Amino acid sequence: MTMDAEMLGKALYAGAVCLVLLGLYGMVVPRNLMRIVLGLVLLESGVNLFLVAAGFRADAAAPILTAPFTAQAAGPLVDPVPQALVLTAIVIGVGVLALGLALVVRVKEAYGTLDTHAVANRMARETGADPAVTAAGARTPGALPVAAGRTAEDAP
């Protein structure tokens, strides 16, 4: 394996690890749900990068057969399977992200804030203490929450 392939490998893995760490930091530390969703995206891209890197072969070409269309002619090929997996993983990421954003919109409407502690406290109060939350009494999505801003008890 030539020197640059070695360096490329290191760079790829280092990149993947950095993305994963950034993603995790983005999910754990911030208080705003939107930032956590974005952290999630970073994390998933890091994992996808690692997944692709797992199939890389230094002296191999991309798994597309050109003109003479014979297997032997094209020489050693990079492992196609991880590339297929990554495609699926990316689409999964998109799907989950879309649903996440939809929920973020709804939470913002329902509670007027995206701060995890505030949402957690109001949710607990809504289901825990307030037995009146029966199916019939569901709050229609459109209704504006009573206290729009951050109130005292939302502190962590």
Partner 1 sequence: MPFALPFDMTSLDLLMAIAAAATVLLYLFGTARLGGYLATLLHGAALAVTVAMGLDLAAGAGAIPSSLRLTVLGQQLAWTLDGLGWFFLLLTTGAAFFSSWYMAGEWGRVQQRARIQHGTLALNVLTMVLLLSAGDLLGLFIGWEFVSWAAFAMMIQAGGPATQAAYRYMLYALAGAMALFAAILVVHGAAGGFGFDQMRAALPDMSTGMLWTLFALFAGGFGVKMALVPTHLWQAPAYSYTPGASSAFLNAVSARMGLFALILSLVKLIGFDTLAGLRIPMTGIESTDILAWVAAITMVVPTYIALMQTDARMLLTWHGIGQGGYMLLGILVATPLGVAGGLLHVFNYATYQMALILAVFAVIHRTGTADLDELGGLITRMPLTYVALLMGIIGLAGLPPMNGFVSKWMIYKALIVTQQPLLSIAAFVGTLGTILSVYKLIHNIFLGQLRVEHREIREAPWSMTLPMLVLAGIGFVTGFAPGLALSIVDQAQAAMGVALLPHHLGGVVLATGSLNMLWVVGVLVGAIGVGALIFYVLGNRRFETHQYDNYAGGHFLSADIRYHFSHEFYPGLARVIGPWYRGWVVRMEHGLGVLAEVSGDLWHGVFRAAYTPLYVLIVAVLGLFWAGGAGGFGS
Partner 2 sequence: MKGNARAFASALFLIGLGLMLVTLFEALPFGGAPMQVGQAIAGRALEDTGATNIVSAVLLAYRGLDTLGEVAILFVAATAAGLVLGGAGRAEAQGTPAGFILRAAAALLFPFLLVLGAYIVIHGHLTPGGGFQGGAILAAAFFVPLLAHPASPVNHGVATVVEAFAGAVFVVIGLAGLVGGGAFLVPLLGAGTPGDLFSAGSLPLLYLAIGLKVGSELAGLMARIAAAGDPARQGGKA
Partner 3 sequence: MTLTAHHVVLPVALPLLVAFLLPLVGRLSDGLARLLAQLTTLAVAVIALLLWPAASDGGALVSAMGGFAAPIGIVFYADKLALMFVVALAVGLLLFRPRREHDSTKVQTLWLLLLAGGSGLVLSGDLFNIFVFYEITAVATYGLGASAHTGAGYGASLRYLLLSALGSAFALLGIALVYAAAGTLNLADLSQLAGERLTGPMGLTAFVLMVLGFGVKAELFPVNTWVPEVYTAAPTRVTAVLAGVVSKLAMVVILRLLVLLFQDPAALGFLLLLGAIGVAAGELAAFRSRDLHRTFAYSSIAQLGLMAVAFSIPGHAGVLAGIAVALHHLVVKPAFFVLADRWRGEIAGLTGAGRTSPLAAGLFVLLSLSIIGIPPLPGFWAKLMLFKAAIDAGGAGNLTAVAIILAATVIEAAYLFRVVGILYGTAPAGRPPLRFTLGELAPGLLLGAVLIAATVSVAPLGDGLTAMAADSADAAAYASRVLPGGN
119 binds partner 1 (CB under 8 A): yes
Q: Kindly calculate the radius of gyration of the chain based on its CA atoms and give it in whole angstroms.
A: 24
98 binds partner 1 (CB under 8 A): no
Shortest distance in whole angstroms from residue 47 CB to partner 1: 13
95 binds partner 2 (CB under 8 A): yes
Nearer to partner 1, 27 or 104 (CB): 27
Query: Which residues have CB under 8 Å from 151's CB, separation 6+?
Result: 118
Shortest distance in whole angstroms from residue 153 CB to partner 1: 13
Shortest distance in whole angstroms from residue 9 CB to partner 1: 18
Per-residue burial over 1-25, b if 16 or more Cβ lie within 10 Å, else e, is eeeeeeeeeeebeeebeebbeebee
Nearer to partner 1, 25 or 80 (CB): 25
Type of residue found at 7: M
Nearest of 107, 96, 92, 94 to residue 34 by alpha carbon: 107
Q: State how far the Cα of 25 lies from the Cα of 29, in Å rounded to an integer.
A: 6
Q: Which of 19, 42, 45, 112 binds partner 2 (CB under 8 A)?
A: 112
Query: Which residues have CB under 8 Å from 15's CB, separation 6+?
Result: 49
Q: State how far the Cα of 70 lies from the Cα of 117, in Å rounded to an integer.
A: 60
Residues 30-69 that bind partner 2 (CB under 8 A): 31-32, 34, 53-58, 62-67, 69
Residues in touch with partner 2 (CB under 8 A): 1, 5-6, 9-10, 12-14, 16-18, 20-21, 24-25, 28-29, 31-32, 34, 53-58, 62-67, 69-71, 77-85, 87-88, 91-92, 94-96, 98-99, 101-106, 108-109, 112-114, 141-142, 144, 148-149, 156
